[in-house]
Amino acid sequence: MKKNGAEIAVESLKREGVRHIFGYPGGVVLNIFDVLYDDKDIQLILTRHEQGAVHAADGYARSTGKVGVALVTSGPGATNTITGIATAAMDSIPIVVITGQVPTMLIGNDAFQEADVVGITRPCSKYNYLVKDIKDLASTIKEAFYIASSGRPGPVVIDLPKDVTSATAKFVWPENAELRSYKPTIEGNKWMINKAAEELGKSKKPVIVAGGGVILSGASDEIRELAEITSVPVTTTLMGLGAFPVSHHLSLGMPGMHGTYYANMAIQESDLLFAIGMRFDDRVTGKTDAFAPHAKIIHIDIDPTSIRKNVDVDIPIVGDSKVVLTELLSTLKEKVRPQWTKIREAWLKTIDEWKRLRPLSYQFEENIIKPQYVIERLYEITGGDAIITTEVGQNQMWAAQFFKYDKPRTFLSSGGLGTMGYGFPAAIGAQLANPGKTVIDIAGDGSIQMNIQELATAVIYKLPVKVAILNNRYLGMVRQWQELFYNERYSHTNLDVVPDFIKLAEAYGAVGLRATKPSEVDDVIKEALSTDKPVFMDFVVDWKEKVYPMVPAGAPINEMLFDETEKKDKKLKKDKIVVS
């Protein structure tokens, strides 16, 4: 029996286990939407903007490990997805975005709502397709999911002309996706793994740097076992938060521009840096030629193009983090020596002293809410049992610093692209995928307005997402840079008109709450968590507060700013502790 293209597309998605699609209708995808109207297995979540649809699919994917799916129409519908696709690409998130296209005979004629989706998305997707023949549709969808979820994950775009969705053909589902030119390396080189084990065994001041690849490959247990049997401290990048428990005594927290003092100092003083599933982003390394100057570097990554791209590496290992670490642990267990703990005793004592000297901190005040205090109270009241999404800027960094992530897939944030407006729709996707979990978007008053229309989506689908707005009436991180490096010339960062978020939430049918002093913070959080509706929590916070520590752009990561005195003196303070 023959099916039309729309039916083949929907049936193919079901074969891939898809149960939710985030999307927005339009003329050239009406055939697909018409099939979905009667389908009982797939629920389409109608977002209020195509960018919101892709971010929601992204949050769905990050929180579950499954491929997220978005479906939009042609022209502006497709171009509105670009920011979401680029966000997923930078952070290696598996999503499939299906865009409508004008009929094949009109492609290239500047037809109504035509856009060169393949050309536009080529630089910001892992792969893309223009389906011209209905006979290729099922195999294309099979390949798209395979490419999106294998190797280094990423977004795949399928551009689907309207006439292909209306044409008919016999449905043939390929059981396997075989691409001759696409063969990701999964197994690591055994000689290199043995060499890594030898270096790890003899180093006195090693540090593990765990990135987002650890979470994507499901290697969190292996990282913990590696750290514990070798007594090696672990720092996790922004994308790697949750890969190693922050509450663990070997945790160094996050490194880099707004990382912990002790993580940055440990990296700079280390003799061996073991990087796993991370790409040495400039926000982590600071000045690259001054990064980890005394260390040999081992780098595990499934993407060979990420190795030696930014930082020179002594022992490169291409492969899946979980597979490579399993092999490495097997090798190490044959060599485990009690003296490993002893030879690293001085190193761990030094790190403990760094932790004592400069912990993450802020100055609490009785009559004004500090944003860090809000994050701390969210952590304490939830017991850390929540999925946190963030927007971008100061809210993102405070969420990374002051909420303790002990499990993978509990911190969802736009790292590589730094996308304002990401957190709220991502929280919607995560909430849909995890209906029994508390999901909180930590936002700024500027960033929440980027995709605030998705509050309608949360209300209609009864998704009890909580949004903690750190309302400082500024574009906070940009203002911080203007204060530190531009002589306090606040050019267009003061948000003169900030909406009444309580009235706005109520207008959408959600709940709005506000705290203006510290004594009100707990009550607002507890009331928000007690309701099964979406909630905007408006925390009016100190507008002057900045994110510290801070490494100025282009400086080594051990040259950190900590307070106003150092800013005014125009000095970069560098504390040194002698490591014996």
* Annotated active-site residue in 142, 162, 205, 546: 162
* Annotated active-site residue in 90, 477, 537, 560: 477
* Annotated active-site residue in 2, 105, 112, 202: 112
Span between the terminal Cα atoms of the chain, in Å: 76
* Annotated active-site residue in 43, 113, 135, 404: 113
Q: What is the 3-state secondary structure of 444-508? A: ECCHHHHCHHHHHHHHHCCCCCEEEEEECCECHHHHHHHHHHCCCCCCCCECCCCCCHHHHHHHH
Q: Which residues contact 278 (CB under 8 A, 6 or more apart)?
A: 209, 210, 211, 212, 213, 237, 239, 240, 284, 301
Contact 449, 424 (CB under 8 A): no
What length does the chain have?
A: 580
Which residue, among 237, 241, 187, has the nearest Cα to 207 in the 3D structure? 237
* Annotated active-site residue in 11, 50, 391, 559: 50
Side by side, the strands of the sheet bearing 20-23 are 43-46, 20-23, 68-72, 95-101, 155-161, 127-130
Q: Which residues contact 184 (CB under 8 A, 6 or more apart)?
A: 150, 151, 152, 302
* 50 is annotated as an active-site residue: yes
Contact 266, 535 (CB under 8 A): no
CA 253 to chain centre: 16
**Which position has the token pair 């531009």?**
486
* 90 is annotated as an active-site residue: no
Q: Which residues contact 568 (CB under 8 A, 6 or more apart)?
A: none
* 112 is annotated as an active-site residue: yes
Residue 67 has φ and ψ, to the nearest 5°, of: -80, 125
* 550 is annotated as an active-site residue: no
* 488 is annotated as an active-site residue: no
> Residue 2's CB: how many other CB atoms inside 10 A?
11
Q: Residue 469 forms beta bridges with which residues?
A: 443, 538
> Distance (Å, rounded) from C-alpha 303 to C-alpha 423?
27
> Residue 162's CB: how many other CB atoms inside 10 A?
23
Contact 223, 244 (CB under 8 A): yes
> Distance (Å, rounded) from C-alpha 188 to C-alpha 276?
12
Active site residues: 50, 112-113, 162, 477
